[in-house]
Amino acid sequence: MTTDGSARTSPTTTPLATPACVQSSASSELPEDLATCQAIIQQLPDTHVEKDHLIAGLQHQLKNLLQRTYGRSSEKLDPNQLALFEKMLAELQQAPATPTEQLPVDCASKANVKGHGRRQLPASLERRSVVIDIPEDQKPCPCCHAMRESMGKEVSEKLDYEPARVFVRQEIRKKYVCRACEVAAAEGGPQIVTADRPLSPIENALCVYTTDGELNIDNNISEHALRRIAVGRYNWTFLGSDTGGHTAAVLFALVATCERHRVNPFEYLRDVLTRIAAHPMNHLADPLPNRWQPATR
């Protein structure tokens, strides 16, 4: 009831009418057979799963593409990097197999023996021969002093490379034998001399101690001196500049050398830095820790 005594009527809502085209299209797509409708409903989950997999794959590809395009410089794929090896790959595919020099019978027989050694390098790679000969003073026979004649060679191969180019480095070590002594050879056979294999840079560095009697056979002292660098590296992460790093390396070397020769580093540096300006240039080795003598006062 309202204030004036009239009856209140509740508002009525009219449902929205569905367009006839939608009703007709929906009814036309659905089959009238109930069994067929149930089969379609059972296939809906599998269809959704396939679509989810497809969407996940596309999102993964899009993420990788965005990472390569806008990611960090260290994670980007520069197309120019692949061009470094295009020339090398083209040469390896187009280069014909070069005929190799006929090896001696003993070398060929060893190559045919099956074993657990290294596999032969591909014949399509370029070969660069490096002939290694014995010194001239070793060519005369020590028995009869006649000149030895070349009687064979040993060929070994190893991979070597140049920037963006791979090739096989052949080391040919010549063999010599004295024909005059070969006829009258003892039971041990003729004296055959083969050129020595050259040492690698690492092997040369490992043999430096043999050239100076004052050098140790190992570098334990240097390793022990570097421990302070490894322990305290977080305290001097930044040295300011390359010049500062070089200066720090020189000071570390001087301090380690002083400790090696049982010299007080503080007294040594204070004395040497005070006198170095007036020290003669032709006696620069005198202030070194192993030869240093404190100034007399």
Q: Which pLDDT value is given to residue 173?
A: 87
Q: Which pLDDT value is given to residue 231?
A: 80
69: Cβ contacts below 8 Å, ≥ 6 apart:
76
**Residue 177: its H or E element:** strand 165-177
- In the DSSP assignment, the letter for residue 295 is P
140 strand-pairing partners? 147
DSSP 85-129: THHHHHHHHHPPPPPPPPPPHHHHHHHHS--SSPPPPPTTS-EEE
Every domain of the chain and the residues it spans: 90-100+121-198, 218-283
**Per-residue model confidence as pLDDT tens digits over 200-252:** 878 888 888 888 888 888 888 888 888 888 887 777 777 788 888 888 888 88
Quote the tokens at residue 170.
Answer: 């052949």
Tell me how crowded residue 178 is: count the other CB atoms within 10 A of its CB.
24
Alpha-carbon span 133 to 175, nearest angstrom: 8
- pTM above threshold 0.85: no
Q: What is the mean pLDDT of each run of 10 residues along the chain (297 residues)?
A: 48 46 51 78 82 85 78 58 59 56 48 62 87 89 88 86 77 85 65 82 83 84 82 76 86 88 91 88 87 79
Q: Which pLDDT value is given to residue 16?
A: 44
Q: Which pLDDT value is given to residue 89?
A: 60
Q: Which pLDDT value is given to residue 264?
A: 92
Alpha-carbon span 24 to 290, nearest angstrom: 106
171 strand-pairing partners? 130, 156
Alpha-carbon span 151 to 260, nearest angstrom: 54
260: nearest Cα among 286, 289, 282, 231 = 289
Q: Which pLDDT value is given to residue 12?
A: 46
Q: Which pLDDT value is given to residue 2?
A: 46
Q: Which pLDDT value is given to residue 100?
A: 47
Distance of CA 168 to the CA centre of its chain: 19
Contacts 24+ apart (CB under 8 A), 39-46: none
